[in-house]
Structure 1
Amino acid sequence: MANANGARRVVVTGMGVVTPIGLNVPDFWASMQEGKCGVTALEGFPLEDLKIRIAAQIKDFDPKQRLRHFQRDKLVMHADRYSWFAAASADEAVKQSGLEFPIANPYRSACIIGSGAGGLVTFENSYRSLFIENKRATHPLTLLRIIGSSASAHVGIEFGIKGPTFATCSACSTATHAIALGVDYIRNNVVDVAIVGASESVINYGTMKAWQALHVLSPEGCFPFAKKRNGTVLGEGAGTLVIESLEHAQARGANILAEIVGYGMSSDAKDMVNPDIEGPNEAMRRALDDAKLAPSDIQYLNAHGTATTINDANETNAIKAVFGNHAKNLAISSTKSMTGHPLGAGGGIEAATCVKVVNENWVPPTIGLDDPDPDCDLDYIPNVGRNLDVTYAMSNSFAFGGLNAVLIFGPAPN
């Protein structure tokens, strides 16, 4: 099945997540319905002189339990934490899709799983061993653990994917870019199936110091669009989708969850830190044009919503510019209020959120939004989610460097 321009349609048949509020999609969704906050006091490593002592950490994740059935990938148990999260989320997505891997022609499959930072936990532990504990060598798998494409390689090996397999890296837009590339490969008949998303695990002393130096972390919590917001909160996790061409999914009788109807990408090309309105505007407009939808066709928007003063106001103004009068009718939320900011993995987790929204007709809240900033005056679904008929949902990812990516999800084709 192809669009009017001859490009094949792309559908979602599986999804998986690992997050601070749920280690799989059902638990994650239940936590969102409860308005659960994953931000807690830092633990698991020396805090020393850190001033910021909160984060949205994943706890009780046991790779030996979660990945014990992996057969083809013999080294995944010895991988970095970010690769564990990627492998677990991909495994959940593959199981839901019902696909048998390797597929009949493994060169017609792709694995694009990105990471903004790669194996930073391994970096830190190795440097501590060398420079503080004065050890003579690091673990023999250190190099493999730190590489930013390791997660995609681990997943590709386990599922026998022999087509395009690599990582994307675009800071907080990483997962969204990975998903868009997978869509493009399927539309243009490069592959029939793709495992796409991103994973991130960067919460350690060195990373906290680096973010602390940039003065964008809150010591209190993640409160997008609220007057009290004073910075973001680092999170970790993974979000992965299994996507297929519509004809491939229908031929095997797959349970189709949603269709990816459009994507848009842009770059501000202006500043490494401070966002611009033009770039986000263009990414949203391009996504709408690609989907052949009017702004009024979107019912729900999952905002980038990082809870920094500049970003939230900038995104609000960008939404107003693109959606015009319809902006005040949009249901918008920042689920980072619950998950923290999982950096490159954010777009993958939020893509799964949008698929659930389209399926469940329920939209998650922005928690902690008791007193909105007057400059953020749209409907950000404060504190409690609501039932809402949603046909099309948009997901925004806007990254450091002005790297913007937007996806639009629609219902499963009849």
Structure 2
Amino acid sequence: MKHAVVVTGIGLISPLGNQTGAVFESLMQGQSGIRLLPGEQSNGVATAAGVVDFAPDPWFSRLQLSGVDRVSQMAVAAADLALKDAGLAQDALADAGVYVGCGMGGASAIEASYAGHFSAKPRVSPLSVVASMTNAPAAHVAMRFGVGGRVMTYSIACASSSVAIGEGYRSIASGETDIAIAGGSEALLVPCVIRAWQSMQTLAVPDAVYPETACRPFSTDRSGLVLGEGAAMLIMEREDHARARGANIYARISGFGMSCDAVHITRPEPDGQARALRAALRHADLTPADVGYCNAHGTATIVGDPVECVALREVWGTDADNLLVSSTKSMHGHLLGAAGALEAAVTALAVHHKQIPPTAHCVSPDPACNMPLVKDTGIAASNLKAAISNSFAFGGTNAVLVFTAV
């Protein structure tokens, strides 16, 4: 028996703030949370990023912060906000699960360790390992809220947290648990990591006057992706469990599809993406015509954006002209391991509010990205019944989540 699964809580620590309603409204207005990084953070090279205004004080004492990297701090904060939004107390979580995506773990702890190692008097903190390990965010969420079920970490580059949500969904749908905290966290805006991305020559070149427009998915003048940081957590429940306690429901998670391109470590392939899209629709028992919105992976790279549109056209066929598409990365940046979770939350909110957020800064759409794009500001979509969120990762892993209205 496949149990229906719903989203009952959303917690965000994002470049656009941490109040879910306000974040969604900012996205609908086309507002950007992207800004220039300070020179010491960006190695003196003009670099834009989606930066979170985050202080851990409400969630951690100074003593508790020992050995807890920023990535874990934000994960705990987002999980706490999500649980409060869902109205769930800790005593309901003993048998719940935690499913977290994270690409790079504690980047600040790793950076500090290497700095200490190569200093004149080498010294590395004895807490470096526990602060930097990739499963630390999930572990801290479990410890903070007393979650005694499965506590899993998925590190699959840009698909990490979409897979985490998908696996959390599967655990509930199969009857293994009633509740899951699922999402992702990423905090990689440290000089060494930024230098590595700069070396790849994949980062956007920001405008000196308007750096907030640096991420321009699907636009002819796009110049690359914009990194971001943050955390997003969803509370997912078996639907009858949620209704029995009178919980607010945002949307159902109705499908999850995965595939691997198995071709190239960084270059995406439309055939692989199409397989994940078809798998997600099949699992949700939907046809392309049933889906009205796609929150695209849309990173604003020269190669990636057209490939995604080719895959969508391939799967949607004659219904492609009715599939509205946008990339909210244009406003919050690419959160890598947390990207799928933030975008899944936005997609669930789009279905809930029947409103579709835009792709900002796309003044001149690339003809190679020939999908119906929502641009500039969001639109009402009173007939929106189903939407998908795409995450297509370095390494070739593709993940697609399907959300439907309740």
Residue 268 of structure 2 corresponds to residue 263 of structure 1: no
Q: Closer, same or farther in 2 for the Cα pair 1:187/1:370, shift >3 Å? A: same
Q: Give the AA of the match of 1:402.
A: G
Equivalent position of 1:20 in the other structure: 15
TM-score relative to the length of structure 1: 0.93
Percent identity between matched residues is: 38
Alignment CA distance shift 1:74-1:157 (3 Å): farther
Q: Is 2:67–2:130's contact at 8 Å kept on the other side of the alignment?
A: no
Matches of 1:305 and 1:240 in 2, distance apart?
21
Change (3 A) 1:135 1:81: farther
Work out whether 1:375 is the aligned partner of 2:364. Answer: no
Is residue 110–residue 195 contact of structure 1 (8 Å, CA) maintained in 2? Answer: yes
Residue-by-residue CA offset, 1:135-174 (whole Å, 9 max, x unaligned): 4322332211101000001000111111110211100000
State which of 74, 95, 103 in structure 1 corresponds to 2:92: 103
In the alignment, which residue of structure 2 is the partner of 1:40? 35
Q: Distance in 1 between matches of 2:183 and 2:66?
A: 20
Asked whether 1:332 is paired with 2:325, we answer yes
Gaps of 5+ in 2: 207-213
Residue among 86, 106, 114 paired with 1:119 = 106
Letter in 1 for 2:387: A
CA distance in 2, matches of 1:247, 1:384: 36
Which residue number in structure 1 is paired with residue 211 of structure 2? none
Inter-partner Cα distance in structure 2 for 1:398 and 1:75: 36
Equivalent of residue 80 in structure 1, options 62, 69, 72: 69
Q: Give the conservation status (yes or no) of the 8 Å contact 2:289–2:319.
A: yes
Per the alignment, residue 3 of structure 1 pairs with none
2:197 and 2:391 map into 1 onto residues whose CA distance is 19
- The 1:76/1:12 distance shift into structure 2, 3 A limit, reads farther
Q: Structure 1: state its 5+ residue gaps.
A: 1-5
| Cα distance in 2, alignment partners of residues 356 and 181 from structure 1 | 20
CA contact (8 A) 1:17 1:25 kept: yes
Q: Which residue of 1 aligns with 2:399?
A: 405
Shift, 1:328, TM fit: 1.1
Residues 74 and 249 of structure 1, relative CA distance in 2, 3 Å threshold: farther
Tell me the amino acid that sits aligned with residue 200 of structure 1.
E
- What does the per-residue CA deviation read over 1:241-299, in whole Å, with 9 as the maximum and x for residues that have no partner? 01011122122222222110111000011100111111110111011000100100001
1:79-100 CA-partner distances (Å, limit 9, x unpaired): 1111111111111110011112
Q: Distance in 2 between matches of 1:44 and 1:255?
A: 44
Q: 2:134 aligns with which of 124, 148, 162?
A: 148
Counterpart of 1:240 (choices 226, 229, 233) is 233
Contact 2:67 2:128 in 1 (8 A): no
Detail structure 1 runs of 4+ shifted over 3 Å in the superposition: 44-48, 73-78
CA pair 188-76 structure 1, distance change in 2 beyond 3 A = farther
Cα deviations by residue, 1:330-376 (Å, 9 ceiling, x for unpaired): 11100000001110101100111011111111111101100111111
Q: CA offset at residue 44 of structure 1?
A: 7.9
Q: What amino acid does structure 1 have at the position aligned with 2:74? A: F
Q: Is 1:11 the equivalent of 2:3?
A: no
Q: Is 1:52–1:212's contact at 8 Å kept on the other side of the alignment?
A: no
The answer to whether the aligner puts 1:223 opposite 2:210 as a matched pair is: no
What is the one-letter code of the residue matched to 2:133?
I
Instruction: Show the counterpart of 1:160.
Output: 146
The aligned length equals 398
Counterpart-to-counterpart distance in 2, 1:252 and 1:338: 36
CA distance in 2, matches of 1:261, 1:198: 20
Contact 1:113 / 1:166 at 8 angstroms: preserved in 2?
Answer: yes
Q: TM (normalized to structure 2)?
A: 0.94
Assess if the C-alpha contact under 8 Å between 2:39 and 2:46 holds in 1.
no
8 Å Cα contact 2:117-2:123 kept in structure 1: yes
Contact persistence 2:71–2:106 (CA under 8 A): yes
Paired position in structure 2 for 1:302: 295
Distance 1:204 1:287, change over 3 A: same
* C-alpha contact 1:369 1:382 (8 A) present in aligned 2: yes
Partners of 2:385 and 2:121 lie apart in 1 by: 57
> 1:297–1:365: structure 2 CA closer, same or farther, 3 Å change rule?
same
User: Alignment partner of 1:203: what SS?
Assistant: coil
Does residue 29 of the first structure (1) align with residue 24 of the second (2)? Answer: yes
Q: Deviation per CA, 1:296-318, whole angstroms, max 9, x where unpaired? A: 00011100000001100000100
